[in-house]
Amino acid sequence: MISVGILGGTGYTGKKLIQFCSAHPFVKDFEVYANTTANENLSSLFPDLEGMIEDKKVLSVKSVSFDHDLYFITLPHGEALNYVPALISKGKKVIDLGGDYRLDFEELYLQWYKIEHSSSYLLKSKVYGLADFDKSEYTDVQLVANPGCYPTAVLLSLLPIVKNLGDEILSVSCAAYSGTSGAGKSPKAEYLMSEMDGNVKAYNINSHRHEPEILQTLYKNGFHSPFAFTTHLLPVAVGIYATSFIHLKSNVDEAKLQKFFKQAYVDSPFVRIRNTPPELKWVLNSNFCDINVSVKEKKVVVTAAIDNLVKGAAGQAIQNMNKLYGWDESLGLLQKEAQHAALA
Percent of the chain with pLDDT over 90: 75
Asked if 343 and 285 count as a contact pair (C-beta separation under 8 A), the reply is yes
Lowest mean pLDDT among 10-14, 82-86, 140-144, 293-297: 10-14
What's the pLDDT at 190? 67
Report whether pLDDT(339) > 80: no
Report whether pLDDT(236) > 90: no
What's the pLDDT at 343? 45
What phi and psi, each to the nearest 5 degrees, are found at residue 222?
100, 10
Q: Largest alpha-carbon pair distance within the chain?
A: 61
- To the query of whether residue 174 is one of the catalytic residues in this protein, the response is no
What phi and psi, each to the nearest 5 degrees, are found at residue 275?
-80, -15
Report whether pLDDT(283) > 80: yes
DSSP per residue, 148-162: PHHHHHHHHHHHHHH
DSSP per residue, 169-238: EEEEEEEEEE-GGGG-SS--GGGSHHHHTT--EEESTTT-THHHHHHHHHHHTT--S-EEEEEEE-SSSS
- Single-letter residue type at 157: S
What's the pLDDT at 40? 87
Asked if 234 and 178 count as a contact pair (C-beta separation under 8 A), the reply is yes
| CB atoms inside a 10 Å sphere around CB 210 | 21
For the stretch 151-162, pLDDT in tens is 999 999 999 999
Which is the catalytic residue, given 21, 149, 174, 289?
A: 149
**Orientation of helix 315-324 relative to helix 12-23, angle to 10°:** 50
| Mean pLDDT, residues 320-344 | 74
Report whether pLDDT(106) > 50: yes
Domains of the chain with bracketed CATH: 2-147+310-342 (3.40.50.720), 150-306 (3.30.360.10)
What's the pLDDT at 225? 96
| Mean pLDDT, residues 284-306 | 97
Q: What is the DSSP letter of 314?
A: I
